[in-house]
Amino acid sequence: MLVHVVYDDQGRIVSIGKPGDVAGRPSGIRAAGVIAGPGHHFTTLELPKELENEPLLNLHTQLRVEASSGRVRLVNSKGFVEPFRRIVENQ
């Protein structure tokens, strides 16, 4: 299932929504006029199948956005390493 995600430069999810239809009009954060502000990014990502029935509110703490590998994807927040820490550790 696809989700719309707004995330910050550190991979923290600011907003997450499921695309869908409401009364013939698209719903979700993009249709609501949510715009990624300074330091924020908007993307559509595949939600891991095991999390499809999880309440969206819970996904904010369970997931992060990994973008440093050149491919933007959702990852478990428990194994996530802040991008600034990767830079320090690799020096």
| DSSP letter string, 4-27 | EEEEETTS-EEEEE--EEETTEEE
**Rounded to whole angstroms, how far apart are CA atoms 47 and 44?**
9
Q: Which value, in Å, is the radius of gyration of the alpha carbons in the chain?
A: 14
Model pLDDT, residue 74: 92
**Rounded to whole angstroms, how far apart are CA atoms 27 and 30?**
8
**Rounded to whole angstroms, how far apart are CA atoms 3 and 16?**
7
Model pLDDT, residue 20: 65
39 Ramachandran zone, left/alpha/beta (phi>0; psi -120 to 50): left
Which of the four pLDDT bands, split at 50, 70 and 90, describes residue 24? Answer: low
Residue 34 has pLDDT above 70, yes or no: no
Lowest-confidence region among 34-38, 56-60, 78-82: 78-82
Model pLDDT, residue 71: 86
Residue 46 has pLDDT above 90, yes or no: yes
Which of the four pLDDT bands, split at 50, 70 and 90, describes residue 68? Answer: confident
